[in-house]
Amino acid sequence: MEIGTVIASLEGPSPSKFSFVVTDDGRSIPVRLGQFVEVQTEEGNLIAFVTNLVKTNRYFMRVESVREYERGGKSLSSIFPADRWEYLVAEAQCLGVRSENRLERTTFPPSPGQRVCEAEPNTLVDFIGLSKDGVSLGDLRHHKIPVNLDLTRLLRKHLAVLAMSGAGKSNFASVLIEELLARTPEIGRPAIVIVDVHGEYKGLASLYPDKVEVVNGNDLKIGVPNMNAYQFTEFLPEISGTQTRELQRILEELRAEMRAGNGPFGMDELIARVEKDGGMHKQLQQALVGWLYELRAFGLFDCVDKPSWEGMVRPGKAIIIDFSDMTNLRKKQMLLAYAARKLFNARKRGRVPPFVLCLEEAHQFVPSGESKTAAIARPIIETIAREGRKFYASLMLISQRPVRLSTTVLSQANTNIILRVSNPYDIEHIRQSSEAITGDVADMISSLPVGEALVVGEAVNHPIFVKIKRRRSKEAGRESGLQEAAREFESKMNRSIEDARAFL
Amino acid sequence: MNQVPGEEIIGFEDTLTNITERIRENEGRRKRVAEALQGFRCMSIGGIGGIIEQSLVNRVEIDPMADSTVAGVDGGMLEQQLHGLDLVIVRAVAAIFHYRGGGLDWVKYFPGEIPFPKLIDVAEPLDAKEFEFLAGMERQITEIEVAIGAAEENVGMLLLDGSVVPQYVDRFPRNPLLLDRYQKLIGAYSTLYQTCQENGVLLAGAVKDSRGGRFVDVLRKKVLPAFGNLGLDEKDLAILERSRDTVLLDHLLGVGERTPSFTYAEEPAAYVLQDLGIWAAKIHAFYLKTVPFDRPLRVEFVDCSQGVTESADRIASKVYALASNHEAFGLPSVLIEADARARLAEEELCIVRDSISDRLGPSSLLDLRRERRPF
């Protein structure tokens, strides 16, 4: 549908941008910011993106005149036909030219007077790089086109979901997970591991009871025989090199005994062996025992892994690690570091299927600028970020504070899903992390409505705004609101008091 | 001897001071004359020197615009002198406003919202003044032809931007082209008057920046002597010789007041009126102050049948309603809109000139030398 005519201005038309006056076709909103348009030029079919809309009206250009005419209480429109002088001028950024089924850079401007049309759906599907078998996320904003993104392009080089609180991050993540769970073996199904900090994804288990398993974080155990001394140093960066060597020696001894039939060993056995060891320098021995006691106090260690990661991670299945009852961040980081390393190594050996590791509140696990002690999981997540694409071990990083997220990890996330972000530091950080985000696009991020996302990077040929569909699974316990939560708490408290009285 | 730079500045400053003082002094005198006249606002001056109504100052009732249609006609013109050819482009538009309940109800335009400009090329060897006359006449012909069309659109009042009488014309041109245009112009005006009369349309013209001095002239020569010069001294009276109507009347008229109507010229046979035949005697004018911080507006009108006073009252009433919305700009809104629609951009003339040049080919030398300076 024709929507306007290219006009000449001081800056254009040029190969990079042009303006057009919008034709008054009776529609109240004939064109919108962020809409795709096309112009038939000498080079081919030019695709452009509306970056700004400006309305002009000569009757309202002089402030003093507007004030004077309206001083008596009449509106200017009741004195002059002001509406007949309103013109809508759209500024558009040239994105490329489709010529002989190829997309090329624009090297020649459109001519003033050329007709501007709404971009055709077929043109846009090709231009954006949407896939028929892809993951369906929602609809392209201002166009009735379903956004189905190619699975490989979306996840292979990792995905970052960035937004302020309440902008729709977990809805998006749920939609994506639901899409992955709904895939059939014929079109490929990755496994999904969700690190659920707030218990927001438990609703998936009700929707897909046979595909989703929820594991309470407090039930997770790390099998000490599966650890080497270097993994201990990840948890306790203060352990010295000599201590690490001695610890490794003890672990190997215990493992040899285990293989000889003594059965698996836990932290108590390890500590006892270190304490008894006669070959170790006394001071070194005492320090090492101290570190191990510190670790033991976390209550994370056992003789075997619980659950068995390799056994649980299956194609088309999801594991939700529910950390909502766990308050100790260090504990969560240790568990994540161990599980992530275990999964990545298993994936490298082909013992688990390609997987997506979803990290809710990723800035807690891979913080930027924190010491090793406060960022225990960061090394392994950074390793997956750098090397995971070779083994189809993908990360989905979800964060409301991108500025606090490790830049190494964020820069490796080649597709960004950005929902509403209002913090200027975060917006600047996002802008610097992706060259596809221009100043105009960055400006739009702060004004995105809830549930709308900017998709930028590897998954699409050009940044697009997507109206994310609603997830099918229920959000766990978040619907009631503050008022309801306060009321529920009080009535529960009163019931407890009454029960106690009755008992007495 | 070379002048010292400082002396130039002092001389310039002195000149500015003199001008300012002279303006202030003249304004003071005009104010005194106006104050003297204020005491005689109701004096009976009808019949003196072509003045129609009795009172010097007449109260105007604002038209409620309950159900009125008013058309405003304006034209735009651009001209360019080229080598061996002169170009004129003109555009005229009538903005037709319909009011209901005091507010603008609907708007239409005649012949269209932004009509295509009319291109006039002049290959005749005219001198600069003759070309100016020709261009002016072409603009007026275009405007009046549009006004004739608008008068047939069921409007109550037709307002021209400017006079209701042909302006800037030479009645006795030597060039046959100019004579032809002049006759066409007179014919167009006569047709307009006739059309308005036949359709019962009030025909008026609002002169934006009138330089007219006839009303003050009548006051000075005929009215004041009849009243013993109101006790004004010679110097005060002399200032009237150097005063335009609007300058003096700005001190005399209050908002919503008008002067009595007066005939367009002292002698109907004078000047261009001669060629307008029976219409000459029907053309009158008055001044109306529509807003507090702008000069009175000269309104000319053709009394097509109702009687001068009734026509003047009805026209004044509508013009007052249309021109009283901005405290410092008292021009009818319908003419502001017509002006905006008719205005031509320089680029429009450039397009015409470039199109001709393009068709002639690269060797054409259309532009005058002054337009082709290398630096």
Q: B84-132 pLDDT, tens per residue?
A: 788 899 999 999 999 999 999 999 999 999 899 999 888 877 888 888 8
Q: Say what the pLDDT of residue B86 is.
A: 86
Q: Say what the pLDDT of residue A478 is.
A: 54
Q: Say what the pLDDT of residue B284 is.
A: 95
Domains of chain B in start order, with CATH, are: 58-216+240-348 (3.30.2170)
Q: Say what the pLDDT of residue B143 is.
A: 97
Q: Say what the pLDDT of residue A488 is.
A: 86
Greater model confidence, B41 or B262: B262
Q: Indicate the DSSP class of residue A158.
A: -
Q: Say what the pLDDT of residue A480 is.
A: 64
Instruction: Say how far residue A291 (Cα) sits from the centre of its chain.
Output: 36
Q: Say what the pLDDT of residue A477 is.
A: 54
At residue A130, what are phi and psi to the nearest 5 degrees? Answer: -80, 155
Q: pLDDT (tens digit, 9 = 90+) per residue, A334-376?
A: 999 999 999 999 999 999 999 999 999 999 999 987 777 778 9
Residues in chain B closer than 8 A to A79 (CB atoms): 104, 325, 333
Q: What is the mean pLDDT of chain A?
A: 89
Residues in chain B closer than 8 A to A69 (CB atoms): 325-326
Lowest-confidence region among A163-177, B97-111, B325-339: A163-177
* Closest to A465 (Cα-Cα) out of A31, A88, A49, A113: A49
Instruction: Say how far residue A410 (Cα) sits from the centre of its chain.
Output: 10
**Arithmetic mean of pLDDT, A211-224:** 93
Percent of chain A whose predicted confidence (pLDDT) is above 90: 53
Greater model confidence, A175 or B353: A175
Q: Say what the pLDDT of residue B35 is.
A: 83
**Arithmetic mean of pLDDT, A231-259:** 90
- Confidence category of residue B365, pLDDT binned at 50, 70, 90: low
Choose from B29-38, B242-251, B280-289 the range with maximum mean pLDDT. B280-289
For residue A151, the SS3 value is helix
The answer to whether the beta carbons of residues A86 and A55 sit under 8 Å apart is yes
Torsion of Cα atoms, A259 then A260 then A266 then A271, to 10°: -120
Residues of chain A with CATH 3.40.50.300: 146-219+307-468
- Closest partner residue to A71 (CB to CB) among B103, B327, B340 is B327
Q: pLDDT (tens digit, 9 = 90+) per residue, B163-182?
A: 999 988 777 777 888 889 99
Residues in chain B closer than 8 A to A71 (CB atoms): 327
- Confidence category of residue B31, pLDDT binned at 50, 70, 90: confident
Residue B258, both tokens: 């008008």
**Arithmetic mean of pLDDT, A239-268:** 91
Q: Say what the pLDDT of residue B375 is.
A: 79
Q: B274 pLDDT exceeds 90?
A: no
Which amino acid appears at position B277 of this protein? Answer: G
Number of H helices, E strands in chain B: 10, 11
Angle at B294 between CA B288 and CA B299, to 5 degrees: 30
* Residues A65, B329: C-beta atoms closer than 8 Å: yes
Q: Say what the pLDDT of residue B324 is.
A: 94
* Closest to B299 (Cα-Cα) out of B267, B272, B330: B330
Q: A6 pLDDT exceeds 60?
A: yes
Q: Tell me the pTM.
A: 0.71
Half-sphere exposure (CA, 13 Å, Cβ side) for A324?
Answer: 13
- On the 0-12 / 13-18 / 19+ scale of CB atoms within 10 A, A336 is buried
Taking any CB pair shorter than 8 Å as contact, residues of chain A touching chain B are 58, 65, 68-69, 71-72, 74, 77-81, 84-85
- Confidence category of residue B363, pLDDT binned at 50, 70, 90: low
Q: Say what the pLDDT of residue A381 is.
A: 94
For residue A453, the SS3 value is strand
Mutate to test the interface with A, among B93, B320, B337, B341 (most CBs of A within 10 A): B337
Percent of chain A whose predicted confidence (pLDDT) is above 70: 98
Q: B355 pLDDT exceeds 90?
A: no
DSSP string, B216-285: HHHIIIIIHHHTGGGG--HHHHHHHHT--HHHHHHHHPPTTEEPPPEESSSSTTSGGGGGGGGGGGGEEE
Q: What is the mean pLDDT of chain B?
A: 88
Residues in chain A closer than 8 A to B326 (CB atoms): 65, 68-69
Q: pLDDT (tens digit, 9 = 90+) per residue, B237-250?
A: 888 888 899 988 99
Beta bridge partners of A117: A2, A38
Q: pLDDT (tens digit, 9 = 90+) per residue, A70-86?
A: 887 888 888 899 888 99
Q: Say what the pLDDT of residue B317 is.
A: 97
- Closest partner residue to A81 (CB to CB) among B325, B326, B337 is B337
Q: Say what the pLDDT of residue B175 is.
A: 83
CB pairs under 8 A between A and B: 32
Q: B4 pLDDT exceeds 70?
A: no
For residue A397, the SS3 value is strand
* Residues B104, A77: C-beta atoms closer than 8 Å: yes
Taking any CB pair shorter than 8 Å as contact, residues of chain B touching chain A are 95, 97, 103-104, 107, 113, 325-329, 333, 336-337, 340
* Closest residue of chain A to B322, computed from CA coordinates: A79
* Residues A85, B340: C-beta atoms closer than 8 Å: yes
- On the 0-12 / 13-18 / 19+ scale of CB atoms within 10 A, A310 is middle
Q: pLDDT (tens digit, 9 = 90+) per residue, B298-313?
A: 999 999 877 899 999 9
- Confidence category of residue B359, pLDDT binned at 50, 70, 90: confident
At residue A114, what are phi and psi to the nearest 5 degrees? Answer: -70, 150
Q: How far is B104 from chain A (nearest CA, A)?
A: 5
Q: Give the Cα separation of A419 and A141 in Å (integer).
A: 13
ipTM: 0.75
* Residues A69, B103: C-beta atoms closer than 8 Å: no
CATH architecture assignment, domain A146-219+307-468: 3-Layer(aba) Sandwich (3.40)
Q: pLDDT (tens digit, 9 = 90+) per residue, A138-169?
A: 999 888 899 999 999 999 899 999 998 888 88
Q: A499 pLDDT exceeds 70?
A: yes
